[in-house]
Amino acid sequence: MPSKILVIEDDPAFRKTVANILRHKGFEVATAPTGKLGARRAQDAPPDMILLDLILPGMSGLDVCQTLKQDTQTAGVPILILTGEDKDGQDIACLDMGADDYLTKPVKTDRLIARCRALLRRAQPARAEDSSAIRIGDLTLEHDTKTVTLGEKKFSHLTPKEFELLYKLALQTPKPQNRESLYRDVWGIEAPSHGSLKTVEVHVRRIRLKLGWRSDQWLFAISGRGYCLKEPDAL
């Protein structure tokens, strides 16, 4: 069954072009010309992925992203921001709001399709061999339910990308993993640019915030080597 992609874009010509490209590549496509309509369609019938413009009438793309990521029905749907407005720091703002990837227009067809396929792969249910729990001291990661347990407290509000990043680090504990390998393993492709690696940093920051960790607890930055996950008292 083909994956369904929702394109939320107010430019009718660009919306039609992207929809035709996706359909030609075998995807099922739904479209919406406004942020409000797009958010409603996503909530009524969650797609497998969303392509989202930032500059939309009424409800901005950032507001749509935040709304969908805070809704339990759509929180796990990967969102790829596709925008012609490339302001300094805007990619970080989008990632902080929960977006899974970010591309600026114009974009080559091959790159767009590669990013879509990578995001869809990462959103697939866990394979049987990946579904076992990992335990590190009082920390437990359950891949099948995407649940983190620390002591007696459970956390189930990490996005799929955040959980996958934490899980990959747990698999290698206490060995540090560099940003390039983490991007490749979690996003499914090689980082297209050095700037793209900021995505890893943003996700690390969000993981720490959601789990209430300081920079010297569990998830450590290793200068010149990347990140590692290990018990704080194991240092």
Beta bridge partners of 149: 140, 154
User: What is the average per-residue pLDDT within 88-93?
Assistant: 76
Among the ranges given (125-129, 157-161, 201-205), the one the predictor scored with the smallest mean pLDDT: 125-129
Q: Residue 24 is part of a domain; what is its CATH number?
A: 3.40.50.2300
- Looking at the fold, whether 77 and 165 belong to one and the same domain comes out as no
- Looking at the fold, whether 20 and 115 belong to one and the same domain comes out as yes
Buried b / exposed e across 42-64, counting CB within 10 Å, b at 16+?
beeebbbbbbbbbebeebebbbb
Examine the fold and report which residue of 100, 122, 144 is the final residue of a domain before the chain moves on: 122
- Looking at the fold, whether 159 and 223 belong to one and the same domain comes out as yes
In tens, the pLDDT along 148-191 reads 999 889 998 888 888 989 999 998 888 899 999 998 888 777 77
Among the ranges given (8-12, 29-33, 107-111, 183-187), the one the predictor scored with the smallest mean pLDDT: 183-187
- Looking at the fold, whether 80 and 162 belong to one and the same domain comes out as no
CA distance 129 to 124: 14
- Among 62, 103, 93, 130, smallest CA distance to 189 is for 103
Residue bearing the bigger pLDDT, 199 or 19 = 19
- Looking at the fold, whether 115 and 156 belong to one and the same domain comes out as no
Q: For residue 211, name the pLDDT band (cuts at 50, 70, 90).
A: very high
Length of the chain, please?
A: 235
For the chain, the average pLDDT equals: 87
Contact between residue 116 and residue 49 where contact means Cβ atoms under 8 Å apart: yes
pTM (global) more than 0.75: no
Q: Residue 193 is part of a domain; what is its CATH number?
A: 1.10.10.10
Q: Supply the pLDDT for residue 121.
A: 80
In tens, the pLDDT along 36-69 reads 999 999 999 999 999 999 999 989 999 999 899 8
Q: Supply the pLDDT for residue 127.
A: 46
- Looking at the fold, whether 109 and 143 belong to one and the same domain comes out as no
Q: Supply the pLDDT for residue 126.
A: 47
Examine the fold and report which residue of 71, 93, 122 is the final residue of a domain before the chain moves on: 122
Q: Supply the pLDDT for residue 129.
A: 45
Q: Which of 6-10, 140-144, 170-174, 213-217 has the highest mean pLDDT?
A: 6-10
- Which range of residues forms the domain containing residue 170? 128-234
Q: What is the DSSP letter of 5?
A: E
Can you tell me which residue has the tokens 């960790």?
Answer: 213
In the chain, the number of structural domains is 2
Contact between residue 191 and residue 183 where contact means Cβ atoms under 8 Å apart: yes
What secondary structure, in 3-state letters, does 2-57 show? CCEEEEECCCHHHHHHHHHHHHHCCCEEEEECCHHHHHHHHHHCCCCEEEECCCCC
Number of other residues whose CB lies within 10 A of the CB of residue 146: 20
- Looking at the fold, whether 214 and 136 belong to one and the same domain comes out as yes
- Looking at the fold, whether 111 and 132 belong to one and the same domain comes out as no
- Looking at the fold, whether 117 and 163 belong to one and the same domain comes out as no
Contact between residue 218 and residue 230 where contact means Cβ atoms under 8 Å apart: yes
